[in-house]
Structure 1
């Protein structure tokens, strides 16, 4: 049996029998699409420890470059249809709520996500947008079938297929999170880094990134909180002068490092690398507020996707990104931590918050979760751009993105900024 270390951290086998055991499948997992392909999965030792084997992460090599980005479409936000009284969620339902901070975050118990009516789903969208993050306790969400989980997510938008992460067998619409600690509790990431904190918003390299997002825990030990920061509040904290300077600036987000990291560890590349131009300050069409829309670290050494502010020279872009990312990281009075057990589901608005995992899992434990990721509207700088956006305009921008990224700062300024 050959064992390889996928993404530098997961012990993965190219082993058909292990996967059959974990999925309880009688199918031939090797022959697909008329050609011989393989399926990577976890080691036998780890598979035996999974409490939810149908969610065992696999990497199917016949999915290599099998997917394309979602075609531009006009998103219909369900938050527009929500009732700001939220009576459908709390009146006579027995649901209990608790604020996690005055502005950001809410915890709810006694309301099952799996059983929401369309009316309640609309109200949920608006509530998530207004509170940024909602932690749902005592959920049976993970007991739903894959088809029902997909239908739940598709209510809020088309589902995102991740570039490279593990997914359940034959279910690429789900993004799986898997981490574990051995009996010593060591995380090898700390052999080279002092911190695992990697603030980001999911898949912002896409032309239309994630909106309402649900992460459901399948199995976890102590530790591993997910932290969130409110990027609307972070924008509001800036001086009027800085806001005027930032409004209208554009930055490039890329999937390059994420995909290359996966490939270097033996993983797959479901989609080609993309570079996408987004506003530095993003307009939220339901809340009618602005938020900082950059994430990661300068150069991408610690994750995230924003690489350069366009129209600036390299040193200028690095300095401004360093300030903005540092401002976000230290905005801990616009911050919450969501704790987990195996019946917790957290739903958040990727347009409003950035988040990071916390790498303090207890020794000899597994952290296993799945994400349902509907995509939303194309990020825009203001209400005028939102109203004037069309799929045709987006296709034209995508067509010329590589050309625009080759412009010098002066050329970019003359083409995009000087007339604003």
Structure 2
């Protein structure tokens, strides 16, 4: 854990103290960086009054808007003048001529289904960054309660927006690469929450060259595995944690909006709309860098490390189940965090800034199959949360007896 923490806190993430100034309980960017922003209202700040001021979203029965979508998608494309281009046969679609901020409720339902079916939808020429904070939050809440990030910068008084900020000097210096050979950190957003992100939007505000986002299809990743390995993985559980994210942020002078949380999730997740299974582990094969999955429960440490490393290497190699979203300052990407995982690309051009904000509605509790989905209740979730620390202390043999052993044996 110590080495994982050391690496994590060195990540080029957006809550480092460098380049910040503190005034009246608020950390903000330095005046030199602020002068370079095209849209100062999207400058990240860190408010010390928000320290431990938030809790995870209380368990709730999520209603997926994709259930109400029309598979023809006529409301989006028939008579609207909008066009779509498939990025790959299974993953990704790029859309022109459709303004996300102007969608009707019917169109929003169709959008949910389209994103779930294609994994990622890239929208060009969007006006999201110019909308009011309230209008943006209203748009996001259509798909679920909005997540508040543990550490990241946000506009002042608007913690529901996760701001992504990165800059490069004239030499393009990236200190992370002084110690590491690359920066690929596959993850599903906030998978450590008991009800993580579902339909998610990233809105670009200011871009230089590079800094694109890459996506991999976790359903395809599962379906590529042999039936024997699929059968073994089905029903296994893993722990996801916010520990390194929070500790890394605090070590770099950031804030901690919420307490550390450890959550048990299935290794293979069932998608309630698509009715398909996908891998639900994330990180980098080396020390789970940048991801949240830490251990497969019921296995000994060496077994868990070997299996998790295999799965993460498998995901990392799927360039034929992958897309790369290329940004400009009017692009919005909408994706399904339950189906795809993604990573930033640390190749920002010299003497440039990239600013974006994420709108993050949370969705249902990850489950392994349709029966678990139908049987789930908020009360059961509260009971699991209550006993999580107890379950995490079980030996592999004890975990097997309690959760995996077939009944009657």
Q: Where on the TM-score scale, by shorter chain, does this alignment land: which range?
A: over 0.9
Determine whether 1:119 maps to 2:106: yes
Q: 1:167-178 alignment to 2 at 5 Å?
A: 167-178=154-165
Task: State the match for 2:22 in structure 1.
Answer: 14
Closer/same/farther in 2, CA of residues 298 and 406 from structure 1, 3 Å limit: farther
Match runs of 1:19-98 below 5 Å = 30=24, 38-98=25-85
- Show the counterpart of 2:183: 196
Please say if 1:332 is aligned against 2:340: no
Retained in 1: the 8 A contact 2:122–2:333? yes
Corresponding residue to 2:152 among 148, 152, 165:
165
- Counterpart position of 2:137: 150
* Counterpart secondary structure, 2:19: strand
State yes or no: 1:129 paired with 2:110.
Answer: no
- Distance of 1:368 and 1:356 partners within structure 2: 16
Alpha-carbon spacing, 1:335–1:302, altered in 2? closer, same or farther (3 Å): same
Q: What is the distance in 1 between the residues matched to 2:354 and 2:130? A: 18
CA contact (8 A) 1:139 1:343 kept: yes
Task: Name the SS for the 2:249 alignment partner.
Answer: helix
Which whole-Å CA distance do the structure 2 matches of 1:335 and 1:317 have between them? 26
- Whether the 8 Å CA contact 2:166–2:354 is kept in 1: the answer is yes
- Offset of residue 299 of structure 1: 7.1
Deviation per residue, 1:270-313 (Å, 9 max, x gap): 00000000000000000000000000135745210000000000
Compare relative contact order (CA 8 Å, sep 6+) and give the higher one, 1 or 2. 2
State the partner residue of 1:232: 219
What secondary structure sits across from 2:295 in the alignment?
Answer: strand
Report if the CA contact (8 A) 1:298-1:307 is conserved: no
Corresponding position: 1:386 with 2:373: yes
1:266 and 2:253 correspond: yes
Summarize the Cα distance change of 1:248–1:6 in structure 2 as closer, same or farther, 3 Å threshold.
Answer: closer
State the shift of 1:96 in Å.
1.0
Deviation at 1:255, TM superposition (A): 0.2
Asked if 1 retains the 8 angstrom alpha-carbon contact of 2:14 and 2:164, the reply is no
Aligned with 2:163: secondary structure? strand
> Contact between 1:142 and 1:216, CA under 8 Å: does it hold in 2?
yes
Aligned-residue Cα RMSD (Å) equals 1.2
Give the match for residue 371 of structure 1.
Answer: 358
Structure-1 separation of matches of 2:320 and 2:17: 33
Alignment of 1:287 with 2:274, yes or no, is yes
> Aligned partners of 1:120 and 1:166: how far apart in 2?
31
Structure 1: gaps (5+ residues): 16-29, 31-37
Deviates more, 1:294-303 or 1:43-52: 294-303
Alpha-carbon offset, residue 358 of structure 1: 0.7
| Alignment of structure 1 residues 237-248 onto 2, 5 Å | 237-248=224-235
**1:313-338 CA-partner distances (Å, limit 9, x unpaired):** 00000000000000000011000000
Structure 1 residue 315 and structure 2 residue 302: aligned? yes
Q: Does 1:206 align with 2:214?
A: no
Tell me the residue number matched to 1:256: 243
**Counterpart in the other structure of 2:7:** none
Counterpart CA distance in 2 for 1:301 and 1:281 is 18
Q: Tell me, yes or no, if the aligned pair for 1:180 and 1:366 is still in contact at 8 Å.
A: yes
Partner of 1:400: 387
Query: Which residue of 1 is the match for residue 6 of structure 2?
Result: none
Secondary structure, counterpart of 1:177 in structure 2: strand
Q: What residue number does 1:20 align with?
A: none
Q: Using the alignment, how far apart are the partners of 2:15 and 2:101 within structure 1?
A: 33
Q: Give the count of matched residue pairs.
A: 395
Partners of 1:340 and 1:353 in 2: CA distance = 18
